[in-house]
Amino acid sequence: MISYIGKRMIAVIPIVLFATLVTFALIHISPVDPAEAYLTAAHIYPTPEILEQKRHEFGLDQPLLTQYMQTLQRISRLDFGTSYLTNKPVWDEVKVRLPATAELALSSMLLSIVVSIPLGVLAAIRKNGWIDMLSRGVSYVGASIPQFWLGYLLIFFFSVRLDLLPVEGRGTWQHLVLPTLTLSFVLIALYTRLLRSSVLEQLQETYVQYARTRGIRERIIMLKHVLKIAIAPLITGMGMNLGKLLTGTIIVEQVFSWPGFGRYFVEAIFNRDIPVIQCYVFLAACLFIVCNLLVDLVHLYMDPRISAKGRAER
Amino acid sequence: MSVRHRKTTTLMLVAILLLSVILGCAKQEDTPASTSMNGAANEKSITLSWPRDIGTMNPHVYNPSQLFAQSMIYEPLVSYKQGGKLEPALAESWTISKDGKTYTFKLRKGVKFSDGTPFNAAIVKKNFDAIMKNDKTHSWLGVVGVLDKTEVVDDSTFRLTLKEPYYPVLQDLSVVRPFRFLGEAGFPDDGDTSKGIKKPVGTGPWMLDEYKQDEYATFKRNPNYWGTAPKVDKIIVKIIPDSETRVMAFEKGDLDLIYGEGVISLDAFKQLRDTDKYVTKLSDPVGTRSLLLNSSNPKLSDLRVRLALQHGFNKQAMVEGVTSGLEEKADTVLSKNYPYTNVDLQPVGYDVEKSKALLDEAGWKLPAGGTVREKDGQQLDFELIFDKTDPIQKAMAETIQAEWGELGVKVNLTGLELTVQIKRLRSNQFDLYFWYNYGAPYDPHSFINVIAKKSFGISEVLSALPMKKNLDQQVHEALSSTDETKRQELYASILKTLQEQSAIVPISYIKKTAVYQKKITNFVFPANRDENPFDGIEIGK
């Protein structure tokens, strides 16, 4: 098992390197020169001399390979340069904003788990019953409604009409409610359907029939046997979505004026704040890789046959 | 421990960890925002929203500091008022030498910075020197290019000497940045403000009170302010990036005022106006939305083609349709509320028949059965580039495409990112382009400056006009002339030439919008496009 984990960890290195290479390449093939982007963001008119000066300052007059190596060195020290817009180190700016985004992502993840597990299981047990219909409705709406629109709807009803919750901002638990609902709605839709079908699949298995003939109570069969296996695809889904959530809060942060990482990134895109974009893409790549690894490790933990298989193959 | 138990314990630990993280994050119930924003009951405050964080409040640098907020804290020597009138601000009076090269300012006495330190000629010079240390950064502003030296004559007299006469010095000094004054305590140790300041200390009516990046900023009255103190005690600025959210926060009553350019959609503005629950206002024109017809393109170098294109679309209908009538049809490139621009010019009206006749006359004929005019085997087609994130530009581009299509002119639309669009303008790689002038206090002198000065893109657009050299000469004379009458004549001549040549086609005058709750009174748009309207605002019952 340890060697499996070790192997997976080593495999992360080339993927991260590839991510840095792609980011580096994307910035260099973009039609806008980073030095010009800097000056535009700072509202400075790009005269040829000042462009030249900035290009030299940013090392853009160096050969591409040197530039890439320097980028790698800097990234390894978590130095993503200075934001063109604020003139502050990017990593410092990101560090301040990450907790807000993490808070939103985790609360959404938690809410989606709390709602979708019972809903998915009940929908499978009471197939075609009203709860199944409800879960189908939720999934249908959740999968098709654009997040920003759902955000507006929630603000309109709960804040403007009913005056129950704040429209925007962060600070109290009330501020967390609407953005969490907005973000988790699509997850609930996804997880409920996933769990429903995987529970239904397991219910067809012979071990369930065997358990039933042994006279084990239905609830015990469900909790101790079926759910344990049926939950595996859900864990995969959640793992993949955690990365997506941490990077995908952009729209929700924008709508609810949530002072997080996503909103910072949107502003960076509009201003071509390249160091920030580079940092964001790099972190997003790392997050996805780590989440992927975590999912695999959880699977390994739940089903030791995976590592046994690995050993057998060796 | 059995395997099962071990698993359960681990899972529980993970759950507890997850919960504690969330609770830890959420346990910030009483932030300064929530306590201060409710405030003391008797305190008069106004809450408004702004799309972006107010920034570092450094008076000498640009992005990300927001102009309206900088203008709350820092003041100019000379203030720009309605109709281009220049009024004393930190300078009580000034004299200009006969040759137009020396400006002597008598500074207002008894002015103090918000920290109580005195405002005097020495601090004025210190600010000027800090700004001029980075003159390349400010080269867009005319006065920076001609400034020769700064002197402290005595404690309350400050003198500027120019390399050559340049009449808009006072206008340039009235803009929000960079020529405004930071107190001694705000200067960094090495005096180089371009890298940052210690704290925002100004002489203005407001001072920064509380600030949380990306969330809010509150300003309170400066107790040391020399002028009439503002009527309200506090201005709270909430940072709300999304315009729809802003409107909903306003409807809920969380905001008292929404003001600015493009801060809410025109639809939302109309909808709020129609409810009759709020007060809505439109400012005088702050800029002109124009279409550049690049005369360096051989097809557009023909005056008849340019005129035909201007005659060939219904501006009035377009402005009403696309901007819901919230922008005003423009007949001249500069509106008449700037100095020197109240000139009688002949509008180029909507006239399809005239347009067709002009195109025929220029040799662009419709081939039998064809829909696009041709000449010498070439089609009459153009590329119109626009900012793809701007819904108004997009809608206008589509309307123009349809209307000119009827005339037999083919328009290809290319939506670009703003930075790429600006790059294409500066490198003169376009046929048709949406362009805006700068507004007050920059215009009309900045406008005529870009007509003559290369690399902004506008001079290149006009490059094929037969009288371009003469135009450049007139611009130079107007900017350096010390004779008011002559300057007016030169402006009139320049504007007349541009109107007749039709290479910059005015479409509409852009206006600022304001929506506020009925309790607010005395709201007046500032004459300076970038300043704030807060000083006169009152709160009724």
CA distance B441 to B436: 14
Q: Euclidean distance between the first and final Cα of chain A, in Å?
A: 13
Q: Which residues pair with B259 in a beta bridge?
A: B514
Nearest CA in chain A to B6: A301
Q: Domain range for residue A282?
A: 91-310
Q: How many domains does chain A have?
A: 1
3-state secondary structure of B158: strand
What residue ranges in chain A does DSSP mark as E strands? none
- Which one is predicted more confidently, A204 or B209? B209
Q: Enter the CATH code of domain B287-510.
A: 3.10.105.10
B28 exposure class (CB count in 10 Å sphere: 0-12, 13-18, 19+) = middle
Between chain A and chain B, the number of residue pairs with CB atoms below 8 A apart is 127
The mean-pLDDT minimum among A84-98, A299-313, B123-137, B448-462 falls in: A299-313
Q: Is A276 inside a domain boundary?
A: yes
Q: Residue B36: what pLDDT?
A: 43
Nearest CA in chain A to B29: A172
Q: Is residue B295 within 8 Å of residue B305, measured between CB atoms?
A: no
Q: Residue B32: what pLDDT?
A: 41
Q: Single out the residue of A239, A103, A117 nearest to residue A173, CA to CA.
A: A103
Q: Residue B1: what pLDDT?
A: 45
Which tokens hold the place of A19?
């991510």
Which tokens hold the place of B451?
């007509």
**A204, A278, B86, B474 from B338: Cα distances, Å:** 81, 44, 12, 19
Say whether pLDDT at A37 is over 50.
Answer: yes
Say if the Cβ atoms of B248 and A43 lie within 8 Å. Answer: no
Nearest CA in chain A to B33: A171
Q: Is A153 inside a domain boundary?
A: yes
- Amino acid code (one letter) for A197: S
Quote the crossing angle between the two packed helices A90-125 and B3-26, to the nearest 10°.
130
State which H helix or E strand residue B85 sits in.
Answer: strand B85-88
- Which one is predicted more confidently, B42 or B523? B523
Q: Is A164 inside a domain boundary?
A: yes
CA distance B323 to B513: 12
The CATH number linked to A246 is 1.10.3720.10
Cross-chain CB nearest to B28 (options A171, A256, A270): A171
CA distance A41 to B330: 30
Say whether pLDDT at B21 is over 50.
Answer: no
Question: Which residues in chain A have their CB less than 8 angstroms from residue B34's CB?
Answer: 171-172
Q: Is residue B71 within 8 Å of residue B79, measured between CB atoms?
A: no
Question: Residue A63, preceding bond cis, omega within 30 degrees?
Answer: no
Report CA torsion sign: B50, B53, B58, B61: negative
Question: Residue B178, preceding bond cis, omega within 30 degrees?
Answer: yes
Q: Is residue A104 within 8 Å of residue A151, measured between CB atoms?
A: no
% of residues, chain B, pLDDT over 70: 92
Position B11 confidence tier, pLDDT thresholds 50, 70, 90 = low
State which H helix or E strand residue A125 sits in.
Answer: helix A90-125
pLDDT digits (tens, 9 = 90+) for A223-277: 777 887 888 888 888 887 877 777 668 889 989 999 988 888 888 887 778 888 8
pLDDT digits (tens, 9 = 90+) for B322-347: 988 889 999 999 999 899 999 999 99
Q: How far is A161 from chain B (nearest CA, A)?
A: 8
Average pLDDT value for chain A = 84
Length of chain A: 314
3-state secondary structure of B200: coil
Q: Single out the residue of B229, B245, B268 nearest to residue B114, CA to CA.
A: B229
Q: Which residues pair with B514 in a beta bridge?
A: B259, B281
The DSSP 8-state label assigned to residue A223 in this structure reads I
Q: Single out the residue of A150, A152, A181, A257 nearest to residue B251, CA to CA.
A: A152
Task: Please give the angle made by the CA atoms of B498, B287 and B244, to the nearest 5 degrees.
Answer: 145
Nearest CA in chain B to A151: B245
Question: Residue A275, preceding bond cis, omega within 30 degrees?
Answer: no
Position B26 confidence tier, pLDDT thresholds 50, 70, 90 = very low
CA distance A308 to B189: 65
Q: Residue B5: what pLDDT?
A: 55
Say if the Cβ atoms of B195 and A167 lie within 8 Å. Answer: no
% of residues, chain A, pLDDT over 70: 95
Highest mean pLDDT among A6-20, A273-287, B9-23, B502-516: B502-516
Alpha helices (runs of H) in B368-433, residue ranges in sequence order = 391-407, 418-426
Question: Residue B64, preceding bond cis, omega within 30 degrees?
Answer: yes
Characterise B390 by phi-psi region: left (phi > 0), alpha (psi -120 to 50), beta (else): beta
Q: Inform me whether the C-beta atom of residue B26 falls under 8 Å from chain A C-beta atoms.
A: yes
Q: Enter the CATH code of domain B74-195.
A: 3.40.190.10
Say whether pLDDT at B33 is over 50.
Answer: no
- Amino acid code (one letter) for B103: Y
Q: Residue B174: what pLDDT?
A: 94
Q: Is A61 inside a domain boundary?
A: no
Rounded to a whole number of angstroms, the CA Rg of chain A reads 24
- Which one is predicted more confidently, B468 or A230? B468
Question: Which residues in chain A have their CB less than 8 angstroms from residue B530's CB?
Answer: none
User: Which residue in the block uniquely carries the two structure tokens 């006359």?
Assistant: B361
User: Which residue in the block uniquely carries the two structure tokens 């927001």?
Assistant: B66
| HSE of B513, CA atoms in CB hemisphere, 13 A | 22
Say whether pLDDT at A26 is over 50.
Answer: yes
Q: Inform me whether the C-beta atom of residue B402 falls under 8 Å from chain A C-beta atoms.
A: no
Q: Residue A267: what pLDDT?
A: 83
- Which one is predicted more confidently, A290 or A42? A290
Say whether pLDDT at A314 is over 70.
Answer: no
- Which one is predicted more confidently, B95 or B31? B95
Q: Inform me whether the C-beta atom of residue B149 falls under 8 Å from chain A C-beta atoms.
A: no
Q: Inform me whether the C-beta atom of residue A173 falls under 8 Å from chain B C-beta atoms.
A: yes
Phi and psi, residue B108, nearest 5°: -65, 135
Q: How far is A133 from chain B (nearest CA, A)?
A: 30
Say whether pLDDT at B37 is over 50.
Answer: no
The ranges of chain B annotated as CATH 3.10.105.10 are: 287-510
Highest mean pLDDT among A52-56, A58-62, A263-267, B370-374: B370-374
Which of A101, A257, A258, A305 is most worth mutating to test chain B (most B CB atoms within 10 A of its CB)? A257
CA distance B508 to A254: 31
Position B39 confidence tier, pLDDT thresholds 50, 70, 90 = very low
Q: Inform me whether the C-beta atom of residue A272 falls under 8 Å from chain B C-beta atoms.
A: yes
Q: Is A241 inside a domain boundary?
A: yes
Question: Which residues in chain A have their CB less than 8 angstroms from residue B56's CB?
Answer: 86-87
Q: Residue B22: what pLDDT?
A: 44
Q: Residue B311: what pLDDT?
A: 94
Which tokens hold the place of B46?
């106004």
Q: Single out the residue of B253, B248, B279 nearest to residue B265, CA to CA.
A: B248
Which tokens hold the place of B80?
């720009």
State which H helix or E strand residue B13 sits in.
Answer: helix B3-26
pLDDT digits (tens, 9 = 90+) for A65-75: 888 888 888 88
Q: Is residue B290 within 8 Å of residue B333, measured between CB atoms?
A: yes
What residue ranges in B198-346 does DSSP mark as E strands? 206-212, 216-221, 234-239, 257-260, 279-293, 328-329
Cross-chain CB nearest to A168 (options B34, B245, B420): B245
Which tokens hold the place of A77?
């020290």
Q: Residue B454: what pLDDT?
A: 82
Q: Residue B41: what pLDDT?
A: 53
- Which one is predicted more confidently, B422 or A4? B422
Residues B45-53+201-284+512-539: name the CATH superfamily: Periplasmic binding protein-like II (3.40.190.10)
Q: Single out the residue of B156, B182, B30 nearest to residue B93, CA to CA.
A: B156
What is the arithmetic mean of pLDDT over A83-89?
83
Q: Inform me whether the C-beta atom of residue A49 falls under 8 Å from chain B C-beta atoms.
A: yes
Say whether pLDDT at B227 is over 50.
Answer: yes
Q: Residue A280: what pLDDT?
A: 86
Q: Is A66 inside a domain boundary?
A: no
Say whether pLDDT at B8 is over 70.
Answer: no
Question: Which residues in chain A have their CB less than 8 angstroms from residue B137's CB?
Answer: 42, 44, 50
Average pLDDT value for chain B = 88
Position B495 confidence tier, pLDDT thresholds 50, 70, 90 = very high
State which H helix or E strand residue B449 sits in.
Answer: helix B445-452
Pairing relationship of beta strands B157-162 and B147-154 according to DSSP bridges: antiparallel
Which of B34, B57, B63 is most worth mutating to test chain A (most A CB atoms within 10 A of its CB)? B63
Q: Residue A18: what pLDDT?
A: 87
Q: Single out the residue of A180, A188, A186 nearest to residue A258, CA to CA.
A: A180
Nearest CA in chain A to B57: A86
% of residues, chain B, pLDDT over 90: 72
Q: Is residue B227 within 8 Å of residue B96, measured between CB atoms?
A: no
CA distance B269 to B412: 32
Per-position DSSP letters for B294-318, written without gaps between them? -TTSTTTTSHHHHHHHHHTS-HHHH
Q: Inform me whether the C-beta atom of residue B72 falls under 8 Å from chain A C-beta atoms.
A: no
Q: Which residues pair with B329 in a beta bridge?
A: B508
Q: Inform me whether the C-beta atom of residue A79 falls under 8 Å from chain B C-beta atoms.
A: no
State which H helix or E strand residue A247 sits in.
Answer: helix A232-247
Q: Is residue B282 within 8 Å of residue B328, measured between CB atoms?
A: no
Q: Single out the residue of B230, B211, B227 nearest to residue B110, CA to CA.
A: B227
Q: Is A294 inside a domain boundary?
A: yes
Characterise A277 by phi-psi region: left (phi > 0), alpha (psi -120 to 50), beta (else): alpha
Q: How far is A203 from chain B (nearest CA, A)?
A: 23
Q: Residue B13: what pLDDT?
A: 54
**Looking at the whole model, is its pTM more than 0.90?**
no
Which of A1, A27, A39, A45 is most worth mutating to test chain B (most B CB atoms within 10 A of its CB)? A45
Which of B19, B29, B419 is most worth mutating to test chain A (most A CB atoms within 10 A of its CB)? B419
Q: Is A34 inside a domain boundary?
A: no
Position B27 confidence tier, pLDDT thresholds 50, 70, 90 = very low
Distance from the Cα of residue B510 to its chain's centroid: 11
Q: Inform me whether the C-beta atom of residue B524 falls under 8 Å from chain A C-beta atoms.
A: no
Question: Which residues in chain A have their CB less than 8 angstroms from residue B21's CB?
Answer: 102, 106
Question: Which residues in chain A have their CB less than 8 angstroms from residue B28's CB?
Answer: 171-172
What is the number of other CB atoms lying within 10 angstroms of the CB of residue B255?
23
3-state secondary structure of B32: helix
Q: Inform me whether the C-beta atom of residue B420 falls under 8 Å from chain A C-beta atoms.
A: yes
Cross-chain CB nearest to B139 (options A47, A156, A167): A47
CA distance B91 to B157: 9
